[in-house]
């Protein structure tokens, strides 16, 4: 089974739009892009378009690559104080002269729709309500749509980034999976992956996970977005060899990526609902 992330994202976006229509004030999302990284520019454009389509307001702030860190921090504080802004995201990666952790920590945790602020990281680790990073949230939705109850399943997350690997492991733990986080120093990675009912690959190495690494029937979620020499996108999983072994697998493109943007809208809606005192289900 090929997991259709585009269709799942479209459903989620429609659900968000229906809830937005019930609000007294349209949710506002402040989107900050520093520099001219072409992929980041595409993602930011897609986020703004998705906002408009869901009935939200996207406030785009494009800053030159050489923007001093102090100016970026000042903009973030301005967005923190702006009542028309419910969510703030600073597109990553940032230019090397800017301290990413400092920027993330400056975003108000109440508007941190990326879920990267240390307070939200701690909330996720403690099993408390907070904003959850968009990519792992989308991955979990796709996994649950395929597997239902995940309790007791063996999950292997390949990659230990703050954006995907670590929060993904926390979410799967929250679903009572037995979770292994594998990384570049893991010994005999194929053997580790072969034990898994659920595999989430988020390493950034094209076609690294091959079909012979997989337990037959495993659910395989490919977070990798690698651009090949021919300009085509390839995931971290070798789709051709994995497709016949996996029980369900996400393609690249059209798998996890669209869910990332849909979950950003969901987090922005949640923030707006909280700030407008709306009771949520």
The set of catalytic residues is 47, 91, 114
Q: Which stretch binds ligand LMY7XDAE (CB under 6 A): 55-63, 67-75, 95-103, 248-256?
A: 248-256
Beta strand pairing call for 198-201 and 154-158: parallel
Pattern 80-99, ligand LMY7XDAE, x by CB under 6 A: ---------xxxx-------
Give, as ranges, the residues between 130 and 169 that touch ligand LMY7XDAE (CB under 6 A): 134-135
Does 268 participate in binding ligand LMY7XDAE (rule CB under 6 A)?
Answer: no
Cα–Cα distance measured from residue 179 to residue 51, given in angstroms and rounded to the nearest whole number: 34
Q: Which stretch binds ligand LMY7XDAE (CB under 6 A): 70-78, 105-113, 184-192, 252-260?
A: 252-260
For ligand LMY7XDAE, the binding residue among 156, 258, 266, 268 (CB under 6 A) is 258
For ligand LMY7XDAE, the binding residue among 19, 86, 114, 175 (CB under 6 A) is 114
Using an 8 Å Cβ cutoff, are 16 and 270 in contact? no
Which residue lies nearer to ligand LMY7XDAE by CB, 90 or 132? 90
Q: Which stretch binds ligand LMY7XDAE (CB under 6 A): 67-75, 188-196, 200-208, 255-263?
A: 255-263
Of all residues in the shown chain, the one whose CB is closest to ligand LMY7XDAE is: 257
Give Cβ neighbours of residue 15 (< 8 Å, ≥ 6 apart): none
Which residue lies nearer to ligand LMY7XDAE by CB, 172 or 261? 261
Cα–Cα distance measured from residue 61 to residue 156, given in angstroms and rounded to the nearest whole number: 37
For ligand LMY7XDAE, the binding residue among 51, 214, 225, 272 (CB under 6 A) is 225
Q: Output the smallest distance, CB 154 to ligand LMY7XDAE, in A.
A: 26
For ligand LMY7XDAE, the binding residue among 30, 33, 43, 166 (CB under 6 A) is 43
Long-range contacts of 35-40 (CB under 8 A, 24+ apart): 35/63, 35/64, 35/65, 35/94, 35/95, 36/65, 37/93, 39/225, 39/227, 40/91, 40/92, 40/93
Which residue lies nearer to ligand LMY7XDAE by CB, 202 or 272? 202
Does 113 participate in binding ligand LMY7XDAE (rule CB under 6 A)?
Answer: no
Q: Output the smallest distance, CB 71 to ligand LMY7XDAE, in A.
A: 18
Does 254 participate in binding ligand LMY7XDAE (rule CB under 6 A)?
Answer: yes
Using an 8 Å Cβ cutoff, are 200 and 259 in contact? no
Give the residues lining the site for ligand LMY7XDAE (CB under 6 A): 42-43, 89-92, 114, 134-135, 225, 233, 252-254, 257-258, 260-261
């Amino acid at each position: 089974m090929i997991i259709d992330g585009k269709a799942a994202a479209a459903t989620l976006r429609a659900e968000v739009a229906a809830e937005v229509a019930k609000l007294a004030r349209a949710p506002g999302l402040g989107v900050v892009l520093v520099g001219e990284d072409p992929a980041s520019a595409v993602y930011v454009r897609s986020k703004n378009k998705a906002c408009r389509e869901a009935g939200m307001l996207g406030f785009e702030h494009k800053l030159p690559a050489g923007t001093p860190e102090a100016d970026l921090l000042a903009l973030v504080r301005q967005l923190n104080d702006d009542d028309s802004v419910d969510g703030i995201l600073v597109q990553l990666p940032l230019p090397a002269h800017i301290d990413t952790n400092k920027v993330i920590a400056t975003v108000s945790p109440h508007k941190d729709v990326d879920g990267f602020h240390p307070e939200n990281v701690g909330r996720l680790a403690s099993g408390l309500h907070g904003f959850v990073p968009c990519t792992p949230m989308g991955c979990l939705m796709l996994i649950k749509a395929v597997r239902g109850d995940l309790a007791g399943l063996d999950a292997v997350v390949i990659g230990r980034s703050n954006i995907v690997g670590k929060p993904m492991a926390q979410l799967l733990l929250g679903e009572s999976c037995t979770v292994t986080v594998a990384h570049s120093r893991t010994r005999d990675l194929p053997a580790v992956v072969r034990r898994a009912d659920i595999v989430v690959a988020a390493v950034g190495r094209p076609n690294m996970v091959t079909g012979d690494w997989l337990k037959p029937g495993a659910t395989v979620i490919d977070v990798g977005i690698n651009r090949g020499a021919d300009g085509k996108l390839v995931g971290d999983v070798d789709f051709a060899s994995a497709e016949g072994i996996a029980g369900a697998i996400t393609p690249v493109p059209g798998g996890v990526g669209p869910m990332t943007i849909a979950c950003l809208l969901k987090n922005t809606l949640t923030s707006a609902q909280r700030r407008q005192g709306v009771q949520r289900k």
